[in-house]
Structure 1
Amino acid sequence: MEDLLYKTISRAKTALLEERGSKFYATVSPTETRDDFKRFLALAKDKNPGATHYCWAFRIGFSPTDELSSDDGEPSGSAGLPILRVLAGKEMVNVACVVARFYGGTKLGVGGLIRAYSQAASSALMQAKIVEVQERVKFFVELPYKILNDFEAMLRREDGKVIESTFGEQVEITFDLPKSREENVLSTLADISAGQLKPKLKE
């Protein structure tokens, strides 16, 4: 099974669009969880205090992708959904976009808003470095010390990475690996532990 590759961005970028007096500050950022997004949204608000609207969208995770958007007081479907369509159209995953609008005194109408929010999000993405990433899955497992070396060697072979380790009576390990290696890893863990180890899939 080949690794599936997805597009994301390497770091946050911001672009400014001006339309009939209104200013649209669009920022895109890598975002792997909803908690990540909450922090990013708070930061975007801090960097753009006093904006009339903070409209946003995100696409998080693989198969299925978690998608959500907000118009934040703009006419329904005129802001968040256009931003989301830009992210989806570029096949982005683990990416969020917040557009802070400062009203300039002239109403743009629904069509004008759709164009403005779409263009602002597109401009921010154009500023960002787009990279390809593997679909990866995350697990938690408790290991006896006697098989720790075998586990670490297996993880290296399968392109896995230890995210967090806690050492107590046993070793508690959170790790991730390419989705395509999942069956191999689970089978190997069963072999080296005589069927005792059953890693738990983490969200």
Structure 2
Amino acid sequence: MTEQYKTVYEGGEGEIVEKKSRFIATVRPVETEEEALAFIEEMKKKYWDARHNCSAYVLGERQELMRCSDDGEPSQTAGKPMMDVLTGAGLTNVAVVVTRYFGGTLLGTGGLVRAYSAATKEGLANSTIITKYWGTKLLVNTDYNDIGKLQYLFGQREIPIMDAQYTEKVSFVVLIPVSRVEEIKKAVTEAVSGRAGMEEVEQLFYALIDGEYICF
């Protein structure tokens, strides 16, 4: 299990015009190859009257699966440059289709590579890109006297408090990268002189999106 990877949270669209040819990039997050293929077919139906609907997708936390299609353009001038943009940005679990409406002027192989790359970059620029972290939800129970110490500790170490319950004792649920669990447990124990109880609730991926932590 990889500890973190970059992906697209919300896809976007981007368009460039090169010598009167329109290149429309549509980006979408995908989890499986079936999702990627269904997305490509959806775009081909949407832009049925276009000359080309070239595609690329990357899947797997370590980019294990990569596929691309030139869809009738000269070999290596569309799908591969599009995929290179995705992998160059360190992205995975993402698909992109670049639709071309031919403008009447041939661009040559170099011009096609530049156009498909630029369109893909424009689509990514209009997408929401996030980093997903593999983390642990840790439940921490302690006395009311220790609230300030723990809040300070979590704030200093940039550990988000996802939930807080105030009953006979105080319970915090915090989100910690897996690699830092033992470090944080030790810091909590030292901060409250061993008075805190701790339990690892679950492991999951999470990301910081628009200032808010989202679990997946």
TM-score by length of 1: 0.65
Unaligned 5+ residue runs, structure 2?
Answer: 136-199, 206-215
Q: Residues 15-73 of structure 1, C-alpha deviation per residue, up to 9 Å, x if partnerless?
A: 11111011111011001111101111122122222111111110001235200111111
Query: In structure 2, what is the equivalent of residue 108 of structure 1?
Result: 107
User: 1:32 is matched by which residue type in structure 2?
Assistant: E
User: 2:84 is matched by which residue type in structure 1?
Assistant: R
SS of match in other structure, 2:49: coil
Distance 1:19 1:65, change over 3 A: same
Aligned residues: 143
SS of match in other structure, 1:10: strand
Query: In structure 1, what is the equivalent of residue 138 of structure 2?
Result: none
Give the CA deviation at 1:135: 5.8
Does the Cα contact within 8 Å between 1:15 and 1:127 map onto a contact in 2?
yes
Q: How does 1:41-190 map to 2 (within 5 A)?
A: 41-63=40-62, 65-134=64-133, 157-160=201-204
SS of match in other structure, 1:38: helix
Q: Residues 110-159 of structure 1, C-alpha deviation per residue, up to 9 Å, x if partnerless?
A: 000000000000000000111111469xxxxxxxxxxxxxxxxxxx7232
SS of match in other structure, 2:10: coil
User: 1:14 is matched by which residue type in structure 2?
Assistant: E
2:133 and 2:52 map into 1 onto residues whose CA distance is: 35
State the identity %: 39
2:134 and 2:87 map into 1 onto residues whose CA distance is: 17
Does the Cα contact within 8 Å between 2:134 and 2:203 map onto a contact in 1?
no
User: 1:24 is matched by which residue type in structure 2?
Assistant: F
| Aligned residues: CA RMSD | 2.3
Runs of 4+ in 1 over 6 A off after TM superposition: none
Distance 1:29 1:103, change over 3 A: same
Structure having the larger proportion of residues in strand: 2
1:109 and 1:16 map into 2 onto residues whose CA distance is: 19
1:88 and 1:159 map into 2 onto residues whose CA distance is: 27
Distance 1:81 1:132, change over 3 A: same
SS of match in other structure, 1:28: strand
1:33 and 1:40 map into 2 onto residues whose CA distance is: 11
1:113 and 1:90 map into 2 onto residues whose CA distance is: 20
User: 1:10 is matched by which residue type in structure 2?
Assistant: Y
2:63 and 2:11 map into 1 onto residues whose CA distance is: 24
Unaligned 5+ residue runs, structure 1?
Answer: 137-155, 162-177, 179-203
Query: In structure 2, what is the equivalent of residue 20 of structure 1?
Result: 19
Give the CA deviation at 1:4: 1.5
2:27 and 2:204 map into 1 onto residues whose CA distance is: 28
1:135 and 1:64 map into 2 onto residues whose CA distance is: 16
Does the Cα contact within 8 Å between 1:62 and 1:135 map onto a contact in 2?
no
